[in-house]
Amino acid sequence: MQLKTSTSVAPPGGRELGTALATATCALLGTSAPASAIAQDIGQWRVDAGGLYYSEQHRVSDYSVNVLARTQPFEDRLLSFSLSFDTLSGSSPNGAAPSAAPQAFPRPITLTSTSGGTVATGGGNFTVPAGALPLDNSFKDTRYAGSADWQRPMGRLGLVSFGGSLSTEHDYDHLGVDAHVAHDFNSRNTTLSAGVEWSDDSVTPIGGSPIPFTALSLNAASIGGSRAKHVSDALLGVTQVFTQHTIVQLNYSVSRSDGYLTDPYKVLSVVDPVTGSLTPGSARGIGLYLYEQRPDSRDKKSLFGLLKHDFGGNVLDSSLRLMTDDWGVRSQTLDMHFKWNLKTDNFLEPHVRFYKQTAADFYHTVLFAGAPLPGYATADERLAKFNALTVGLKYGAKTTAGQFAARIDLYHQMAKPSPDALVGSLRGLDLTPDLKAIVGEISYRFGR
Amino acid sequence: MASPCEVHLGPVDERTAADLVALVAGEAWRIEAKFSRYRDDGVVAEINSAAGVPVRVDEETARLLDYAAELFELSGGKFDITSGGLRRVWRFDGSDRVPGADEVRGVLRYVGWSRVRWQRPVITLEPGMEVDFGGIGKEYAVDRAAALVAAVTPWCLINFGGDLRASGPDPAGRPWHVGIEAVDRPDAANRIVRLSRGALATSGDTRRFLVKDGRRYGHILDPTTGWPVRDPPRSVTVAADTCTQAGMLATLAMLYGRDAEVFLTAQGVRHWCAR
Amino acid sequence: MWKLRLCVLAVVFAASAGCANVGVKPWQRGVLARDDMQIVADPLDSAIDEHVYFSKEASSGGQGFGGGGCGCN
């Protein structure tokens, strides 16, 4: 069964009927010509598209295009799709710490067999000046991701949705499925929801996955092939309407990851416990850097609360998230947006986000020569103790076809090294330089 | 009106709201009492039982009859308020009792506005004929009610069973969201229209029909032939400045059968047809 | 720590069960129906932000999930 709609220009003759009808109707109703109707068809599709530019000072840049499309084949069914494409380039910290002396890092040679024969990549060194944070600039990647979600009612007061997602990049693939249910109570003022998700990911590091705690060298031994990672998430939530202007949500979620959780490209510097200078490695002029290792499971628990309040047309959106996991990381996130309507069709939305996390138990800025090796270790700053602040501003304006928006967010991450890392010559160095990034996005929404 | 009727009002106090609802309900009942063919005390009963005797009608009825006459001409005879007579041989009860060609020819003698003598304010029907305002009545009532409310408050939407008119959007300029029911799933809309001002009316055919020898006979009858219209859409919704116009265009579209969309496109009105 | 959290959660759920009289009537939902008052007002931006923070921090999710992993954490 098809639904057709059209408003093309009338051929000669057809219009006469319309005019005569209008005149006759005026005569019937005893009124003069009424104001003309304004009826706008809301297309069944709603599409949000955004182009993103992300750039870290001195480090990584990312350009991405994201599209989210939603349609309601019927009033109570919702189908959504998303597609995104990212391209990442630039330099990323490799985990080694700054040193008082210049450093050189070998690029492991990897042999890849292609249709044209075997190709060797890598080889050679890249050098880092004294005091600088070592960054590996061979970081280039392209990622494609997509997801789909289907939502339908469940009984009169509930709904259920099923979704799937997948993504691929040159060394990482992901496949996931999720399901949610929700039920309304109390005249739809209270909603209880629950959801689960399973992911099946696989990492295929370039050059194979290194053997943990072995030294970074031109020909480091590695395990070829893919490594698996599985993630299961569960969420329980309650949403409550308090007043005509206030709505609150509280969610509790748990997440368990199993499998290969280590970053195959990151190392830790091994330094002298007294002087802080780099321990010599096996090759001449190269220090000793050991590949990291993380546990093969991770359990996270989060408590999330959201409050939205309408102030006469302007909206305050504020949320707090508390997270803890069995790696020793505890974090708090406070995120606030205030949508300020300038006129009916434009708005400005300032944004501020405060984030704080503790270091993982096995985070070490550096390892010490002569000390026994820990079970797990990483110098990845993402698992260090840090505070982060985001400030941003978004501007939006309605247009005939939808809405246009542009925003900028400035992100500043300030990490602290492990307290025991400040030995000898390392004391005078900035072992965990701040990360500053800018996020710029232009987006357009079509449809209702 | 034989359908649920609603009034949506902007921010008015409870007293005014009650008064306005009473006003709208009063107008709806007045029009129903006066023009319903099911009532034996209204104008329609008076005209239909006159059996050839001229009947003098009041100003409001005269205007409706003028309108019906005009529409008869404009539609080439497809819109005809005397077509009710066809009901004598066509009963759409889902059975297979389709009338024969003779029966239809027979009943056509009692159908046709051209047989009516309408000389304002006097109408004379031949014996056996009848008039029926069913095709205009509800939409007319919506427009009348809307006019009464508009005199008091600008933000209002009147909805009589799917024929509706909005006198304007809310004070913040936000339009009304009107759902168009999906034909095979009642109570679920598969199309949403943002109506700031104007009217929507729907003509539908979903539930009354006959089936014989595998052929389905819809209940929209063409008064010029006496037979059901070929291939009408299952539902037509039209947006227009007034509910009366919207309803008329939707009805005419149905009468054009398989050319419904062509007709509506030629009129240049926003429309939604489901087949 | 998690015992405390479990208690908080239990209290909150009990409180919301007792919230049978808190809320609004169906005809009072005009403001709540606005796009910007939805729990996730801008799903595209939320997804983008979630991805950015997930790749730079140790935390993720909290409000929901779905959408995919990446090799960035």
The answer to whether A238 contacts C44, with C-beta atoms less than 8 Å apart, is no
Number of H helices, E strands in chain C: 2, 0
The answer to whether A3 contacts B71, with C-beta atoms less than 8 Å apart, is no
Residue A173 has pLDDT above 70, yes or no: yes
Nearest CA in chain C to A168: C70
Which chains does chain A touch, 3 or more C-beta pairs < 8 A?
Answer: B, C
Cis peptide bond prior to B121, omega within 30° of 0: yes
What pLDDT score does C13 carry? 60
Query: pTM of the predicted model, to two decimals?
Result: 0.77
Any C CB within 8 A of A436 CB: no
Among A191-195, B93-97, B185-189, the range with the most confident prediction by mean pLDDT is A191-195
Which of B110-119, B151-160, B193-202, B208-217 has the lowest average pLDDT?
Answer: B208-217
Q: How many Å lie between the alpha carbon of A18 and the closest alpha carbon of chain C?
A: 36
Of residues B144, B245, B274, nearest to A25 (C-beta)? B245
Q: Considering only residues 262 to 291 of chain A, which have any Cβ-Cβ distance to chain C shorter than 8 Å?
A: none
Nearest CA in chain A to C42: A48
Among A247-261, A280-294, C7-21, the range with the most confident prediction by mean pLDDT is A247-261
User: What's the CATH fold of domain A43-92+136-446?
Assistant: Porin (2.40.160)
Buried b (16+ CB within 10 A) or exposed e, A341-356: beeeeebebebebebe
**Domain coordinates in residue numbering, chain A:** 43-92+136-446
The answer to whether C59 contacts A321, with C-beta atoms less than 8 Å apart, is yes
Q: What total of structural domains would you count in chain B?
A: 1
Interface probe for A, chosen from C32, C45, C50 (most Cβ of A below 10 Å), is C45
What pLDDT score does B226 carry? 87
Contacts of A256 (CB under 8 A, 6+ apart): A231, A232, A233, A297, A298, A299, A300
pLDDT one-digit tens code per residue, B54-81: 999 999 999 999 999 998 988 888 889 9
What pLDDT score does A129 carry? 93
Per the listing, tokens 């005078």 go with A428
How many whole angstroms separate alpha carbon A247 and alpha carbon A225? Answer: 49
Q: How many Å lie between the alpha carbon of A79 and the closest alpha carbon of chain B?
A: 13
Mean pLDDT score, C21-46: 87
C59 vs A contacts (CB less than 8 Å)? 300, 302, 321, 323, 329, 331, 333, 355, 357
B271 vs A contacts (CB less than 8 Å)? 5-7
How many whole angstroms separate alpha carbon B234 and alpha carbon B184? Answer: 10
Any A CB within 8 A of B160 CB: no
Per the listing, tokens 């240049």 go with B268
Residue B174 has pLDDT above 80, yes or no: no
State the CATH number of the domain containing residue B78. Answer: 3.10.520.10
pLDDT one-digit tens code per residue, A14-23: 667 878 888 8
What pLDDT score does A286 carry? 84
How many whole angstroms separate alpha carbon C46 and alpha carbon A82? Answer: 13
What pLDDT score does A237 carry? 95
Task: State the average pLDDT for chain A.
Answer: 89
How many whole angstroms separate alpha carbon B111 and alpha carbon B102? Answer: 15
B172 vs A contacts (CB less than 8 Å)? 313, 344
Task: State the average pLDDT for chain B.
Answer: 85
**Domain coordinates in residue numbering, chain C:** 31-58
Per the listing, tokens 């590091």 go with A205
Of residues B175, B198, B275, nearest to A2 (C-beta)? B275
Any A CB within 8 A of C15 CB: no
Q: Confidence class of residue A5 from pLDDT cuts 50, 70 and 90? A: very low
* Dihedral-angle region of residue C11 (phi above 0 means left; psi in -120 to 50 means alpha; beta otherwise): alpha
Among B48-52, B166-170, C66-70, the range with the most confident prediction by mean pLDDT is B48-52
φ and ψ at C9, to 5 degrees? -60, -45
pLDDT one-digit tens code per residue, B211-269: 778 777 777 888 888 888 888 888 899 999 999 999 999 988 988 888 888 888 888 88
Q: Do you know the residue count of chain B?
A: 275
Domain that holds residue B91: 5-274
Of residues A255, A324, A339, nearest to C61 (C-beta)? A255
Chain A residues at the B interface, defined by Cβ less than 8 Å, are: 1-11, 13-15, 17-18, 20-22, 24-25, 27-31, 33-42, 44, 72-76, 313, 344, 448
